[in-house]
A and B are shown apart, each in its own frame.
Chain A
Amino acid sequence: METAKHRISASQFFLMMFVSRIVVTIALNARYLGGENMLEAIFSYGLAMALGLLLALPVWGLARLYPELSIGDAAQAALGKAGKAVPLFYLFYFILVNGSSLGLFQIFLLDTVNPEFSSALTIAALLGVALYGAFRGIETVARCAVCVFAVLLPMVKGRRKAGFFGWAGGTFLFTGILLLLLAGCLGPYAATQNFPVYALSSITEIRSMQRLDAVFVGVWMTGMIIKLACDLYACRVCFTSLAGRKCPKTALFLSGAAILLLAFAAAEKLTAQRILLNTRLLLFCTVGIGGVLPLLVWGIGWLKQRKGG
């Protein structure tokens, strides 16, 4: 079992999380928001954030119970060999979620941007850079997040709790303002767009933002790289928990290949698209893996520690 080393600061970690989260919001549309009224979505997003805080409680509990262990290692400490299922679930979850995000990005490229060059090759290159970042380690990804989005750096320093609330609040604020702008500027037109954020930036009257569609997509891609690299590194941690030794490079390659395949499937096959871009399924997976599993591990671990005195 490998104990975690404190290699990145709380601010680096939560900035990385912030980037990962806001990158998803760029793909917001009426379908994902579950209705045409985007202003209502601000309130819904607030509720979602509150739910997110609730979901995070078991993870905090686990971090207090096993401060040096990742969830995969903590599950094995609490459940024995059966605990190996937990990192496996997490591994599948990361592959699924990133396959879905990358697939969505490829659909965006094909439907909205329609570039002269291969979109499949573009997302493969994107994943390649993210894999490189994951190979170089969490420090690399975190520092890179600082570099790319230094402007958006929320004022979180040192303490994890402050960092967490800064991240949650910052993300809510960002998404709230984005939704307000979408609803305010586009009105009912927003509901007809697959990617209203992109539509908003293309028709903006702010001169410095005019015709910067390509740059906008580039910024989205850079954010995607951070998110992918961060999640691929999480896959690496899961592999390490599963195998009980350092994750081999091939395992990380396989995770990347699986994400790529899912993304291609989401872009090409309608059936795969229905599953991978199904928000209810993704919500179910997130609640199950992000909340229920840690709660289970924490509960059993807590009981075990109480019994053991």
Chain B
Amino acid sequence: MQEDFHYYATYCAAYLSGYSHSESLDICYSAQFVDLCSATYLTGIKAPAQAATTQLQMEMMNTRTDVTGLQNITRIWAPFHFLPRDLYATKDKKRPKKYMNKYRLICGPNGALVKDIVELAKGKPLQSVGIAMHVLADTWAHRNFAGTPSLVINNTDDEFYEFIAGEDGEQKRKIKFQHSLSAPDDLDKSIYTSSLYQRNEKNIMNLGHGRAGHLPDYSFIKYMYLPAWDDYRVMIKDNPSDYRHAFCQMIYAMKFIRGEIDSFETDVYDFAAIKDYEERIDGILRKRQLSASSDWKAFGEDLSGESIEDFDVNKYQKEYVDAPKDEKAGTFYGLFIDGAIAHKGLVCDRIYQSGNKLVGFVQEMKND
């Protein structure tokens, strides 16, 4: 997912769930900041790098993919962008543990961890709510890929087909991939950028959905492909439907966090909240465009009657840098950092407790 959904659509979902305009802005800022809070950024403002929620491309390229390096990568991408669906998943036929550890990190919606992270955000500052909403939304967009470098899980072949809606129904069109990062995706010709095929299991190119390019990040696209891990079964990914579910699940989750609902259950969506806007939301989700930011922004401004400022990554930087050491924790970034560390700790602990060491070791500190 990109800024259009993590920032503007999250604002809309927060507002629809009952948050005020300014609260919704804080939530959507935090949700989008998850995609920008790298170790480089944090060290630049003298904040703890352990709170990093993403990695810059260069950071990843400079990371050695030895055991420790892989744990560092997985500890960021699995909790924040590829939340595992089932840490105890099984396969029909027995597979080695090494394979299963990676298989069990495959991301997907409505897993036990989604419930855990939403419950963790309840009673916490708005920054934690934003983090949880980012992760929840990504479980829909990034499903079927894992937040660890793995050829056997994240690889795909080149046979991708896009379903184009027309007057005669849906038509299949072959997708062509290019590997130039500077070239923009060409939606009219179905030419998209993806990472290069690398035979090395642990190569960074095999992290997440790199091999499928930005397809998971576009709300409009419905496509089919062959994932490496699913025993030659063809996968159809219907993003408009998935994004609609993500949006309605965010509303439901935030109503729970606000205390309107007593318990949070997976596979529950607040479709009623968007009943009056169904057509408009569907139109935004299905519109073929590289970014839906302006459409979501217009929708959000119509909802609240307030202006939604553009996302500025440095909005709270000065506040944090200028704050005395003992007051940093109370700043916007300070609260975000606390939320990020708590979130990372929870997810890594669950992974570690499942017997999977791909995120390293987790140690519980007891407060007497």
Our verdict on whether A and B bind, yes or no, reads no
